[in-house]
A and B are shown apart, each in its own frame.
Chain A
Amino acid sequence: MKTTNWRCCRLLQEDNMTTSKRYDRQIALPEIGISGQEKITAARVLVVGAGGLGCPVIQNLAAAGIGQIGIVDGDVVAESNLHRQYLFTPNDCGKNKAQVAAMAVLKQNPQVKVLAHPEFFSASNAPEIIANYQIVVDCTDDNATRYLINDMALANGIPMVYAAIHQFEAQLSVFNYQDGPSYRCLFPEQTHLNGLGCADTGVLGVLPNTVGALQATEVFKIVLGLVGVLNGKLLLYDALCHGFKTVAFERNLLEIEKGKQKGKLLNDRKAQNRGEVSAAAFFDALETHSHLIIDIRETYEEPRLENRGIHNIPLAQLEHFIFGVAKKQSVILFCQRGNNSRMAVDYLNQKGFDTVFHLSGGIEALDLNLEQND
């Protein structure tokens, strides 16, 4: 089996498909091979927090060639970080962690794409940041952000690789994986209670590095579709006795729904801020006549939406049409795929219309079976 993979490996290099000898040793594993390396190269992973856990996670993901790594952290490097956050040097003190980590890791492996988000992960930026990733890795040091990560992961249907440490102990799990339990299922939110971060309790530098490597291992298992993902299992590690213990936990549908709704609310708010409406909101507006709804496609473009509430005004005639419309009128525009309508929103905004939306993804994103005819 290994021989086959070595041969594949050479073919891979000859074809110049996924690159160089860099990944030979992992491609040699029967569980990875060329197809596995392609999955690693195609993967997009977001790491929230570039501290004790984040640094080893980022280093391990980049070294193995994860295609796109996002790094979120609004904090700056401090001297007290250096004993455990090996991506940073004394010269980096005072600089943003996400940016320094991105630069350092690009030196480590120039083949990966690294995006630095030099800001704290928050309700206002989370929807925008997380939208393009397939896996989110929680390397934060506060539980409020953990609930936010969990809820965004639920709303976006992506797994969350969790780890956290306390002195010589660590916890590790994977949430929202293949409809498995979420962080809220294990720890329902209790706002009056909180854990303690490293600054409060102290930490030996090797512990987050050990645990970050374990987190990265879970990422690879997910990307490669391997067995043994910590789905519905909480791994407990004690560095003093090198004890590993696993406890099982189950889904709590109420907690999952609560998290999903919170995440969706933030996603919807983001969409509204961009002037977008979802398909559901579009049909709702059609039914309630709450907005002036304009189809800006050419009249030959199919499929047509037959509804008395829709005005068919091709883009070229829009300027003339809106001349007679009050500026305070709420408007929803739609086109075939959502591109022209997005530009038309900007145009109407410039003309003084304040409440203008467009249908995200255009008519092609609608499930016309759900259409509400009047």
Chain B
Amino acid sequence: MILIVKYFGVIADLTHKKEEQFYVEQGMNSLDQIRLKLEKQYPEIKQVAYAIALNQTVMQQDALVNENDELALLPPFAGG
């Protein structure tokens, strides 16, 4: 299935993009599975703490994901 993934802050710096369509295989439908696939594709983001919002709500790792859902990877910002 296809998901929309949005990247913020230092994660956008590391992935070199702010948004993309992200393909995940059949049966890969928990947020945690998708996080692992994202971290496999972009290993550097493993160094960063981040929350994941699913369709504009921050969710736990066991949340289920559906076709065309929007994910946002939200690291804490530090600058002030």
| Residue positions of A touching B, CB distance < 8 A | 49, 51-54, 138-143, 146, 163-167, 169-171, 186-188, 190, 193-198, 201, 203, 208, 234, 236, 245-250
Is there an interface contact between B10 and A196, defined as CB atoms closer than 8 Å?
yes
Most chain A CB atoms below 10 A, which of B47, B58, B78, B80: B80
Given contacts A247-B57, A249-B51, A249-B57, whether A165 and B80 have CB atoms under 8 Å apart is yes
| Chain B residues near A246 (CB-CB < 8 A) | 56
Instruction: List, in ascending order, chain A residues with CB within 8 A of B12's CB.
Output: 169
Residues of B within 8 A of A (CB): 8-10, 12-13, 47-49, 51, 53, 56-58, 72, 74-80
Q: B58, A249: Cβ atoms under 8 Å?
A: yes
Are B79 and A203 neighbours in the complex by a CB distance under 8 Å? yes
Known: A187-B49, A195-B9, A247-B53. A143 touches B79 (CB 8 A): no
Instruction: State the Cβ distance, B6 to closest chain A Cβ, in Å.
Output: 8
Complex CA distance for A250 and B48, rounded to whole angstroms = 21
Q: Pick the residue among B10, B47, B49, B56 that contacts A248 (CB under 8 A).
A: B56
A166's contact among B53, B58, B78, by CB below 8 Å, is which? Answer: B78
Q: When A142-B78, A247-B57 are in contact, do A166 and B9 touch as well, CB less than 8 Å?
A: yes
- Identify which of A190, A193, A197, A249 contacts B80 (C-beta below 8 A): A197
Shortest distance in angstroms between A5's beta carbon and chain B's nearest beta carbon? 36
Residue ID in chain B nearest A198 by CB atoms: B79
Nearest to B52 among chain A residues (CB) is A247
User: Would you list 22 pairs from A and B whose C-beta atoms are within 8 A, ordered by A residue?
Assistant: A51-B80, A139-B80, A142-B78, A143-B76, A143-B78, A163-B80, A164-B78, A166-B77, A171-B74, A171-B77, A186-B51, A187-B51, A188-B49, A194-B78, A195-B76, A196-B78, A198-B79, A247-B74, A248-B57, A249-B51, A249-B53, A249-B58
